[in-house]
Amino acid sequence: DGGITQSPKYLFRKEGQNVTLSCEQNLNHDAMYWYRQDPGQGLRLIYYSQIVNDFQKGDIAEGYSVSREKKESFPLTVTSAQKNPTAFYLCASSTRRESYEQYFGPGTRLTVT
Amino acid sequence: GENVEQHPSTLSVQEGDSAVIKCTYSDSASNYFPWYKQELGKRPQLIIDIRSNVGEKKDQRIAVTLNKTAKHFSLHITETQPEDSAVYFCAASKNDKIIFGKGTRLHILP
């Protein structure tokens, strides 16, 4: 569990502001993912990256952006274009080799008012 | 794209009884089906998974079955215990992209 971290745990922003959520892993995993979790909606995929300098949109990418400049880091920016940004955001990583198991971070709860 | 349906959304079972959660998927090319457990306030954790070349897998009180023809898979928990109370998510995966179901909240009644 300690191998993937997200910061901060709670984040508050005013409407109209962009905000960046941090995700770092020291597991040497190739793939990283961002999910949004809302009550009753499960885990919805925002973006994922299989390798450095490459990433793909998930099912709900509108209003979000990502970068993957380093293997260890996969920050998510919630832009002002995201209509309902208040949610719990989970980052995950996986090896893509022996196992496809996803290791999740502790999450960031974002509140936009 | 892939769509994963999960039922029921809420399940209450008496302690000691069995619990079954069912999922269907739409993309016949999906080849990996994990199940995650999320306890209150914690991150999801893998409890069992199955690949498309296997029909059933068991790990102590937990088992997963896969019917590729019907495109559905199920989680079975036997002899349920209070610590089994949590939200369970199924998922279907192809080429690193994993799509989750909406989750099942399992309550174990004393």
Choose among A45, A96, A105: nearest Cβ to B43: A105
Could you give the C-alpha distances from B27 to A50, A56, B64, B70, in angstroms and in order? 20, 18, 19, 11
Kindly give the parts of chain A with pLDDT less than 70: 1-2, 97-99
Q: Rounded to the nearest 5°, which phi and psi values hold at B82?
A: -55, -35
Q: Which token pair is A5?
A: 């971290």
Could you give the C-alpha distances from B54 to A98, B33, B73, B104, in angstroms and in order? 17, 11, 11, 24
**pLDDT > 70: percent of chain B:** 100
pLDDT recorded at residue B97: 85
**pLDDT > 90: percent of chain B:** 85
Average pLDDT over residues B46-60: 92
Asked if B62 contacts B108 with a C-beta cutoff of 8 angstroms, the reply is no
Average pLDDT over residues B83-87: 97
User: What residues of chain B lie within 8 A of the CB of A106, using their CB?
Assistant: 43
B32 to chain A: closest CA residue: A100
pLDDT recorded at residue B57: 94
Number of inter-chain CB pairs under 8 A, A vs B: 55
Interface of B with A (CB under 8 A): 1, 6, 9, 32, 34, 36, 43-46, 49, 89, 91, 93, 96-103
A58 to chain B: closest CA residue: B97
